Structure 1
Amino acid sequence: MNGTITVIDAGPVRVHSYMSPDDSLNVTTQLIETPGRVIAVDAQYALGYADEVVAYAKGLGKPLDRVVISHAHPDHFHGAARFGAPVHALAVVRDQIVAQGDGQDPGGTVIPVADFTPTHVIEPGTEVIDGVPFVFEAHSGGEASDELVIRLPEQGVLVAQDLVFNRTHLFLGNNDITGWQSAIDRLAADPAYDIILAGHGLPANRSVYAELSQYLMDARELLGDDGEAYKKAIVDRYPDYRAPAMIDIANQYLFG
């Protein structure tokens, strides 16, 4: 396996967190295993890594109930069709995905928009799936304009996805550091969740909030009008962080 799997036991729920390698920005898919089924959150960017996740999920011996897409960035939805399950998303996220049209795998394979268009709308609120309460929350601002967060209150698990990066460089292309910090503050205000599932990087604990806040503070200080200068400065400050290519992608949005 090219990706990294972290398994978290939480009573009747097991979380299998798949982190892709550096060449796919360490994007994560969460496989939430309930007593009778598996719910996937986010579907990878590279189709080959999506296939790895699907093969692992099939090895759990339970049906794949659905794929939930957290937000409308291609690294989280390109591989949705590979899962062979209904695709769920917030209505606003679905519309943003459709507006982008066809996608392209990093290897150059064209992916028709129909392959990853969500077909089921998530309404914010609580849904009990296989006896396990899932709390769906819509968040605005930050890494993306609109994002879904999932809470598993009985397990103390927060599926934060791209509102949390764990020791990987942040995607600042949405140009909303203030909104991202506000989102982190909202998540950190609830002490009931001590397992934090990141959208990039390995699962984390509550200490990740302070690390994210410091990175955002440093980014605000270092961002100027030169993308290459910013990249050098932030990498020098965080030399051990993964996925420096994330900075290059964000800089296309920030600096052209």
Structure 2
Amino acid sequence: MNGTVTILDKGAVRVHSYMSPADTFHTTTQLIETPAKIVAIDAQLLPGYADEVVAYAKGLGKPLDRLIVTHAHPDHYNGAARFGVPVHALPEVREQIVARGDSRLPTGEVIPVADFTPTVDLVPGTEVIDGVPFVFEAVSGGEAADELLVKLPEQRVLIAQDLVYHDVHLYLGNNDIAGWRQAVDTLAAETGYDTVLAGHGLPTGPEIYEEVRRYLADAGELLGDDGDAYKRAIVDRYPSYVGPFLIDIANRSLFSAGH
């Protein structure tokens, strides 16, 4: 296996957090194992890594029930077809995925939009899946225009996905640092959750909120009007973080051509 899996035993639920290698910036897929089912959250950038997740899930001996896609960034939905189950997402996320169209991999391979378009509209609120309450909340602004937050209150697990990165450079291409800081402040005010699952990086705890806040503050200070200078400055400030290529991708949106 190229990726790594972290297993968290939460009683009636076991969390299997798959993290891709650094070449795809430690993107995560969360497998939530209930007594009789598996719910997958987010689907990887490269189909090969999605295949690893699916093979691992099959090894658990329980059926995959559904795939939930939290937001409209390709590193979280490209591999959706590999799961072979209904794909759930917020309606606005589905619309944003369709608007982005076909996805082109770094290899040049094209994945047709129909392969990963969500088919089931997810409604915010509480849904009991196999006896386990899942709380779904829509969050606007921040890393993406719209994101889904998933909570497992009985297990004290908060599935933040790309509202939180852990030791990975943040993608700022949505150009909404203020919105992201507000979203993190809202998460930090939550009580009753001791485990936080990040969209990039290993599972962590509530202490991650201060780390994300600090990075966002530093980014706001360093951005300026030169993408190359910003990348050098933020990498120098966070030398141990993986995914500097994320900065290049974001800079295409943040700065004029050539940066």
Question: TM-score, normalising length from structure 2?
Answer: 0.98
- Is 2:95 the counterpart of 1:100? no
Give the TM-score, by structure 1 length: 0.99
Tell me what 1:227 maps to: 227
Of 1-10 and 98-107, the range deviating more from structure 2: 98-107
- Alignment-derived partner of residue 147 in structure 2: 147
Q: Percent identity?
A: 68
* Alignment partners' CA distance in 2, 1:246 and 1:191: 31
Over residues 92-138 of structure 1, what are the superposed CA-to-partner deviations in whole Å (9 max), with x where a residue is unaligned? 00011011111122322211111101000000000000000000000
Q: Report the number of matched residues.
A: 256
1:192 maps to: 192
Cross-structure match for 1:204: 204
> In 1, Cα distance between the equivalents of 2:107 and 2:38?
28
Q: Which residue of 1 aligns with 2:182?
A: 182
Matches within 5 A, 1:1-256: 1-256=1-256
Q: Partner amino acid for 1:71?
A: H
Q: Secondary structure at the match of 1:71?
A: coil
- Comparing 113-122 with 102-111, greater Cα deviation is found at 102-111
Residue type at the aligned position of 1:234: I
User: 2: CA distance between counterparts of 1:7 and 1:229?
Assistant: 39
Q: What letter is aligned with 2:70?
A: S
- Structure 2 distance, partners of 1:104, 1:248, is 17
- Determine the C-alpha separation between the residues in 2 that align with 1:201 and 1:106: 21
- 1:47–1:105: 8 Å Cα contact kept in structure 2? no
- Provide, for residues 20-76 of structure 1, a one-character-per-residue CA deviation record: whole Å limited to 9, x for no partner: 011111110000000001000000001111111111011011000000000000110
Return the alpha-carbon distance in structure 1 between the equivalents of residues 252 and 55 of structure 2: 34
C-alpha distance in 1 between matches for 2:219 and 2:169: 10
- Report the Cα distance in structure 1 between the residues aligned to 2:66 and 2:105, rounded to whole angstroms: 22
Q: Distance in 2 between matches of 1:24 and 1:47?
A: 12
Give the match's secondary structure for 1:164. Answer: strand
Aligned AA (2:32): I
- Distance in 2 (alpha carbons) for counterparts of 1:24 and 1:119: 26
- Segments of 5+ residues of structure 1 without an aligned counterpart are none
Offset, 1:244: 1.0
SS at match of 2:16: strand
Aligned partners of 1:46 and 1:106 also within 8 Å: no
Report the aligned-residue RMSD: 0.7
